Chain A
Amino acid sequence: DTGVSQDPRHKITKRGQNVTFRCDPISEHNRLYWYRQTLGQGPEFLTYFQNEAQLEKSRLLSDRFSAERPKGSFSTLEIQRTEQGDSAMYLCASSQAPGDLHFGNGTRLTVT
């Protein structure tokens, strides 16, 4: 169990640029979640994959956000035309079944 891995750890980008984050879940976990967390707040749900199928997406997620999980392994989260309000920690978590989530250490995005 090598844990959930996220890359990069930090990303600074200019407003209007596109960014992509990667998450490698624990290998035997078929469930994968993306969350966003801002300072002083709890994680906020973005989207959920079961294997390669995206089964749920937050209504708060604008069309600028897209996530994929090809072949049910790693996942990517892309943000197009970034805005300053997108600055946050983006967390990925995985689980094998309904139960506890295993989180990565996140990607901290700063939009200038």
Chain B
Amino acid sequence: EDQVTQSPEALRLQEGESSSLNCSYTVSGLRGLFWYRQDPGKGPEFLFTLYSAGEEKEKERLKATLTKKESFLHITAPKPEDSATYLCAVQLTSGTYKYIFGTGTRLKVLA
């Protein structure tokens, strides 16, 4: 069965304390892996798309990387405004149009 697992479920960091979030996936065929940020009461906001192992994308304090089994979202020197839930999702190459989401990592950055 195709599935996506994110860890940790929750993470508390001090401002400036870098860390990484993990998204591991078991799928029949990966078309793409997506990272989203979700603030309370709002819909997910797109961050990155990764298509092949070894690919990296960066945006401000965030960097996403992809291997054949997992993806990491690295947060460098986070600020309180980075506090949110980070979701990853996969799109499969065949058999379904749906995107499969993980349960997310709730990040809290303390000032």
Q: What per-residue 1/0 map shows which CB atoms of A33-73 lie under 8 Å from chain B?
A: 10100001111110010100001101000000000000000
Complex: chain A residue closest to B31, CB-CB: A98
Partner-binding segment picked from B14-22, B39-47, B59-67, B71-79: B39-47
4 smallest CB-CB distances across A and B, nearest first, come from: A103-B43, A42-B101, A45-B98, A100-B46
For B103, the closest partner residue in chain A by CB is A42
* Total A-B residue contacts, Cβ distance less than 8 Å: 60
Query: Number of residues in B with C-beta < 8 Å to the partner?
Result: 25
Number of chain A residues close to chain B: CB under 8 A: 27
A residues whose Cβ falls under 8 Å from a Cβ of B: 4, 31, 33, 35, 40-45, 48, 50, 55-56, 58, 91, 93, 98-106, 108
